[in-house]
């Protein structure tokens, strides 16, 4: 079943609890943590995740676009996140980090920037609950979907099947009613959408619409 994860990067940061309520029925709330080093943008950190976890029943899917995730990721689990995604480009010891996230009780996920191939990481797949394929350069919402990522999505789905794993395959960046069917057809099953949800007049309706399109 397709999962839709609205990204609060496109929400009103002064009204996060209301913005979470506006997408009731979503599977997860996608929380983009940016440190101005790994990406050229700065968003939010542990205290905001703690408050948001208290303010909503929707589980938090934290996407860490930060340097040194080996040091910081476990603290996001303690802050209340149900899923933690670190970038392989930033992690010093991805296997150890994934195991630590799982041991602390959250789902462990690893992200690949558009220029990072999946093949070198095939052996890591059993350590993960989810793999995130970025379909834009991380850092900002509202960018255009990179169609050239579709073969990588397809290839990753093949590798997950080859190893007979239950790993979820998430896409993030430029996912909208115009692009979600291509992603689903290529094998993605978890869809992050920021501007396509919070830019809509009725965000909950946008989530329902995306879910239907992904299931086609």
Among 80, 174, 187, 203, binds ligand DX5 (CB under 6 A): 174
List the beta bridge partners of residue 65: 34
Catalytic status, residue 70: no
Among 60, 175, 183, 207, binds ligand DX5 (CB under 6 A): 175
Are 136 and 143 in contact by the 8 Å Cβ rule? The answer is yes
User: Could you say whether residue 113 binds ligand DX5 (CB under 6 A)?
Assistant: no
The number of beta carbons lying within 10 Å of the beta carbon of residue 17 is 12
Question: Least distance in Å: CB of 37 to ligand DX5?
Answer: 14
Distance CA 176, CA 165 (A): 27
Show the CA angle centred on residue 177, arms to residues 202 and 6, nearest 5°. 55
User: Could you say whether residue 27 binds ligand DX5 (CB under 6 A)?
Assistant: no
Report the candidate in 170, 163, 133 with the shortest Cα–Cα distance to residue 151: 133
86 annotated ligand-binding residue: no
Residues 6 or more apart whose Cβ sits within 8 Å of residue 209: 177
User: Could you say whether residue 90 binds ligand DX5 (CB under 6 A)?
Assistant: no
Catalytic status, residue 172: yes
Out of 27, 35, 129, 172, the active site residue is 172
Question: Annotated binding site, which residues?
Answer: 7, 30, 32, 63, 139-142, 172-174, 194-195
Query: Which residues bind to ligand DX5, rule: CB under 6 A?
Result: 7, 9-10, 30, 32, 63, 136, 138-143, 172-175, 192-196
């Amino acid at each position: 079943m397709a999962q839709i994860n609205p990204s609060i990067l496109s929400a009103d940061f002064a009204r996060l609890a209301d913005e979470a309520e506006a997408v009731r029925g979503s599977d997860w709330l996608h929380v983009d943590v940016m440190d101005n080093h790994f990406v050229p943008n700065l968003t939010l950190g542990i205290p905001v995740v703690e408050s948001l976890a208290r303010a909503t029943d929707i589980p938090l899917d934290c996407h860490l676009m930060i340097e040194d995730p080996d040091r910081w990721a476990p603290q996001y689990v303690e802050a209340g996140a149900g899923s933690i995604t670190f970038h392989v480009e930033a992690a010093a010891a991805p296997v150890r980090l994934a195991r630590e996230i799982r041991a602390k009780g959250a789902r462990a996920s690893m992200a690949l920037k558009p220029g990072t191939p999946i093949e070198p990481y095939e052996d890591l797949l059993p350590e993960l609950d989810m793999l995130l394929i970025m379909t834009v350069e991380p850092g900002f919402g509202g960018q255009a979907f990179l169609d050239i990522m579709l073969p990588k999505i397809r290839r990753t789905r093949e590798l997950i099947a080859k190893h007979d794993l239950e790993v979820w395959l998430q896409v993030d960046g430029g996912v909208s009613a115009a692009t979600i069917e291509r992603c689903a057809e290529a094998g993605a099953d978890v869809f992050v959408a920021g501007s396509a949800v919070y830019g809509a007049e009725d965000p909950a309706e946008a989530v329902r619409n995306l879910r239907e399109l992904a299931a086609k």
